[in-house]
Structure 1
Amino acid sequence: MQISSLAHALPRTLISAAVASAFALVAVNASADLSSRYVDNDGDMIADAPSDESQWADPDTLVFAYTPVEDPAVYADVWSDFLEHLSEATGKEVQFFPVQSNAAQQEALRAGRLHVAGFNTGGVPVAVNCGGFRPFAMMAAEDGSFGYEMEIITYPGSGIETVEDLEGRQLAFTSETSNSGFRAPSALLRSEYGMEAGEDFETAFSGSHDNSILGVVNEDYDAAAIANSVARRMLARDVVAEGDYEVIYTSDTFPTTAYGLANNLNPELAEKIQDAFFSYDWEGTALESEFANSGEAQFIPITYQENWAVIRTIADANGVTYDCD
């Protein structure tokens, strides 16, 4: 699987009236670019379940993975109660898979070793097009609101007070598939500030938002582009403290991690998995304790076609293509 990208124009306010002019030649509802392994007969931009029942998967053990974090063991505990609920709802054993990178998570899905997962915002189109991922849920606040912002952060005393001050310094990204950790800031820096990676500033790839934040706090990186929802949870766990870093830029709001499943699961099993997400009682759980730190309290239904339109637009503006085969 190969993903290529070239940064093109993107305005600072990503979900504003400026989008209309900035993307005059880019369709917001860009068509899916599914691998030849999949079909989309119903036009919802995600892979259909196989029509041949012999191709349906009905594993004894479901494997679940949450998007890569700095310390996967922490999130194994956070998700433990939910995974027990998922096991009861499906009648299956459920195993937490502690992925170390976005690439490892994508490959596990594509290889059939991953059945249920939460993929980061920018990684969702890759998982959909190259791995047959069928997203159906996202975390939201009690009132149904959802999302996070991309921030560019630096450490106190770095001498970086504005985006322009990044010139000649090092900016850390997370991975090339990350929306807030790479694609959005790359397009922003080029379009609004005329700054090219490798020419106007040096780059590094940390592998995760946690690593980028800790890298800035420890002064390993001059600055980093991060998802502020991750930062809020790290602050709440006292992994970092207020004042450890400073924010020099905040974007408009993006959708957050999408939860979904592999397209080839037995449809009856797939329905039980979806029902488990929406029937889960968060009250008093480790999941509630952790994600309340970023204002989330429930799972809500989503569609890739609607909720990821702005992310597909950013990908198109960056010249992203999917060579999955």
Structure 2
Amino acid sequence: MIARLFSTVALSAVLTLPAAAFQLDARFTDADGDLIADIPEDAAQWIDPSVLIFAYTPVEDPAVYAEAWSDFLTHMEAVTGKPVQFFPVQSNAAQIEAMRAGRLHVAGFNTGSNPLAVACAGFRPFAMMAAADGSFGYEMEFITYPGSGIEKVEDIKGRTMAFTSETSNSGFKAPSALLAAQYGMEAGADFTPAFSGAHDNSILGVANKDYDAAAIANSVKARMLDRGVITEDQLVVIYQSDTFPTTGYGTVYNLHPDLQEKVREAFFSFDWEGTTLQAEFERSGEAQFIPITFKDNWSVIREIDAAMGVQYTCN
């Protein structure tokens, strides 16, 4: 077991500001108040592409996940009657821009980028991975390497701390809010920040002693351990948060309504047993897709954004 030197702490303690009103971009409507873009009433605005484009959040090597999603995408093809193409994305920003520009129809956006995708790209999330018993989520962890001299969060002061990207919940937003509010530590003043681009990069960076510490999603760490990319004795966990929601899956708002329903059907009718999706994601405990709502399941993420003063600008 990876050494843990710091017990779980409720992240809610850092949320000292009231949540700012979440607002969609002006080109969207939300008549029912569910905080996601309505499907256009005018059928002329619907899109019915000949090929559905699917992208999974850019957490790790896209080639690994093209194979992992292959059986599911074959199932989606059968349900929707459309060819489905896996679109490898290199960043959260690129994924959001692809959907905003009409080049991405179905996607899994990571926890932290979900609000921006909803606000700016018309993303309509409806599903999340969960364990067989219906439980879901992951924890944000601060990790270091054995012998780093970092035994508690305060010891990060004066050292190099790796984040993933500014849109990531566990890779940037939640740890930044925690460090500032609970420990009085600001990037640049109290420690040197570094941006790795992805959770696996941060984890490998710490394991190889390129970074003194990092904020990561432990679900990614679990899959890397299972594949033998890293070993348990390379890392030490000094902090673990409460549980956050995982990647949210959904469609772009103006996809033909009948096609949106078929995509939903594909997610909730998929049999995981013996598939490439099961082979990859059972590593972190997932066994099914369950229905979710952005309004309810992402409320804590919107609160973290509010605590950090995040603005959902869509330039």
TM-score range, shorter chain: over 0.9
2:165 is the counterpart of 1:175: yes
- Tell me how far apart the structure 1 counterparts of residues 249 and 100 of structure 2 sit (CA, whole Å): 16
Q: Distance in 2 between matches of 1:32 and 1:298?
A: 29
| Counterpart in the other structure of 1:310 | 300
In structure 2, what residue type is equivalent to 1:143?
A: D
Please tell me whether residue 13 in structure 1 is matched to residue 13 in structure 2.
Answer: no
Aligned to 1:129: 119
Residue 221 of structure 1, CA deviation: 1.0
SS in 2 for 1:250: strand
Secondary structure, in 3 states, of the residue corresponding to 1:50?
A: coil
Shift in Å, 1:206: 0.8
Q: What's the TM-score, normalizing by structure 2?
A: 0.95
Structure 2: how far apart are the matches of 1:69 and 1:193?
Answer: 28
1:32: how far off? 2.6
Structure 2: gaps spanning 5 or more residues: 1-7
Show the 5 A alignment for 1:269-288: 269-288=259-278
Give runs of aligned pairs for residues 48-67 of structure 1, distance below 5 A: 48-67=38-57
Specify the alignment match of 2:60 in structure 1. 70
Tell me, yes or no, if structure 1 residue 47 matches structure 2 residue 37.
yes
Aligned AA (1:14): L
CA contact (8 A) 1:151 1:250 kept: yes
In 2, the alpha carbon distance for the partners of 1:314 and 1:58 equals 36
Q: Once the 2 structures are TM-superposed, how far is the Cα of residue 12 of structure 1 from its aligned partner?
A: 4.7
Give the 5 Å matches for 1:1-325.
12-15=9-12, 18=13, 23=16, 26-27=18-19, 31-325=21-315
2-side partners of 1:214 and 1:181: how far apart? 14
Contact 1:12 1:192 in 2 (8 A): no
Gaps of 5+ in 1: 1-10
What one-letter code is carried by the residue in structure 2 that aligns with 1:26?
P
Matched position secondary structure for 2:232: coil
Aligned-pair CA distance for 1:71: 1.1
- The amino acid across from 2:94 in the alignment is A
Instruction: Give the % identical residues.
Output: 69
Using the TM superposition, name which of 211-220 and 81-90 deviates more.
Answer: 211-220
Asked whether the 8 Å contact 2:162–2:214 carries over to 1, the reply is yes
Q: TM-score under structure 1 normalisation?
A: 0.92
Aligned to 1:7: none
Q: Distance in 2 between matches of 1:205 and 1:50?
A: 38
Report the counterpart of residue 5 of structure 2 in structure 1.
none
Query: Which position in structure 2 is the counterpart of 1:4?
Result: none
**Contact (CA 8 Å) 2:11, 2:178: kept in 1 or not?**
no
Once the 2 structures are TM-superposed, how far is the Cα of residue 157 of structure 1 from its aligned partner? 1.5
